[in-house]
Structure formats: C-alpha cells, structure tokens
Amino acid sequence: MTINSFSKPHSAQNVTDYPNNNTYFLVWNFREEAGLVTIKSVFQRICALVINLNNSALNRFPDAKASCVMGIGYDAWLQLDLPQPLPKELKRFEPVTGSKHTAVSTKGDLHFHIRADHKSLAYDMAAAISELMSPVADGVVEVQGFRYWDSRSVLGFVDGTENPHGADRDRFAIIGGEDPSYQGGSYLFVQQYIHNLRAWKSLPVEEQEKVIGRSKEQDIEMSDELKPKNAHIALANIGDDFKVVRDNMPFGNVATNEMGTYFICYASTFSTVEKMLNNMFIGNPEGNYDRILDFSTAKTGSLFFAPSLELLDEFGG
C-alpha cells in the first residue's frame, strides 16, 4: 500500500478525550496460522467496526463520553502491508535497562482503548471487538480500569496533574505538519505496572510524598529545594515543551492484592516518551532513577500508532 492517497490533512481519533469512569485496555496479537489473507480481512473489518462503535455510541448515548481508539504496532503494520514509508517514529519498542529496573518490551499488534461512563457500554464495545478478533488473534492483555476517587492511583496520589489542557492537548498528542502523511495520527505507548502495596503502605506519608514529589492530600508540588532529585515528578516531567497526554487508570484484584496502574499516553513524537523513560529507568544523571520504580514494576511495554479517522476509514475499505 502506498502513502500517496493519504496526503490530505486528517482528523484524530478520540486520543485527547479525558479519562472516563470505566475503561478497557485490550492488546491482541495475530496468529500466523490464521493466514495472511484472513488476517487482512479481519483487520479491514475491525477498522470499520471501531468507526462504527464510535458513531453508534455518539448517536445512542451522546452524553456517555464513550469512545474506542485503535493503535497498530510496528510488526502488524508491516505484516498488513500498510502505507510506506511508516510514521516517522513507529518502531519496535526496545527495553530501557537501568542499573536496577527495566522498562520491558512486549509484543502488541493491535491495542484498543475503550472509555465510557456506563460500564455496560464499555463491555459491549470490548465484546464486539473480541468476537471479531478471536478467530485470528490472541488477546494477551485485558485490563479493566476504574476511576479511583479524584483521579488518584491506588498509591493514593493524584495521577495526571501535569497533563496539558485545552489546545495544548492537541499540540502534544496529535501529529501535525512534522509528518504530513500522518497528520491526525498519534503515538500510543502503554505499560502495565504492578504496585508493591505492602511495601508502599509501610512508608510514612512524608516518605511517600518524597517518592512522588507532591503532597498526598492536596496534590501540591514540592519546591525545588525540598523535592528529592529522584522523585517521580522530578524525572518523569521533562519540561514544558515535552509533554504527552496521559490516560492512566488503576486496575487490579483486591483478593490477590495485585493492584496496579495501566500507563497509557498519546504523543505527537515518541521521542518525548523515550526521554521520559530514560530519565525514569536509567536516571538523570545515570543511576539517579525514579524511586517510584522501587514500588512499581513494569510488566508490559508496547508502542502503537493510532492513525487518523480518515486513514482508519481507508484501512476499513
């Protein structure tokens, strides 16, 4: 497939929507034995389905703030013979290995990010995708996220305070003229973190605040004089010109105490995400890694590209 027919400006999927009360995160990997012809046919249908799900939800439940965003991984892009050249920064995510912690890399062909304030609607959208994908692919990640109080993670701190708002959400999340063939697209990066809550809860609140760099109750950032150099926000926030749009959600199983955060961000440049990960896992300077990693372990790490609505429509035939 050539890129020539995709040169006009495109509009984005719902990548800048705000987090909702109920969320499904789904990752699927194609099975080779399904056959490339069948896989391509299902891919065409899934692109059309995603557009249909969004249109139907908007028409039937206009106040539900429901949406489904689909991302495509590097290997799947090549396998499906999608446009060449590829989006400039779409590639296989390589592990980021520090002296103590690693941002692992895991395979992902398609990623679906479903949001709705009605749990039933989110479930129905996930079920429709699963019904279509199951004959040709394996579902390797299914995380059901939930809103915890005033957008807090299960660690008890507000998550996403540094997120851009207004026009800046489009600026930092959506590709513009820097990659004209893929205007309206967005780099989608995800990690599934599991928290060691027993170790975390053993820390006094004052120590927890030093790990994060903010007050726990009021969500007020520490001054530069008081904020430790290895605090989470000291390393994960890399400057006003290098931001992403995060949609993180808590998830987990209380009975097994396996609670975590599904980190998801949309970015106009993946290099911004790489800077953040290098700071966190390798350290800035090297060795000064993000102390939150002593309590949070990344179990997955995958990069996808969320094409524009028009490109998604082209893929759907």
CA 292 to chain centre: 19
Instruction: Check 75, 81, 159, 219 and give the catalytic one.
Output: 159
Helix (H, G, I), strand (E, B) or coil at 161: coil
Helix (H, G, I), strand (E, B) or coil at 284: coil
What's the CA angle centered on 110, arms 108 and 116, to 5 degrees?
A: 120
- 138 labelled catalytic: no
Phi, psi (degrees; rounded to nearest 5) at 189: -120, 135
Q: In this structure, what DSSP letter does residue 302 have?
A: E
Q: Are 37 and 211 in contact (CB under 8 A)?
A: no
CA–CA distances in Å: residue 196 to residues 80, 113, 154: 39, 25, 11
Estimate the crossing angle of helix 36-60 against helix 119-133, to 10 degrees: 160
Phi, psi (degrees; rounded to nearest 5) at 37: -60, -45
d(CA 135, CA 30): 9
Distance from first CA to last CA of the chain, Å, rounded? 13
Q: Which residues are catalytic?
A: 159
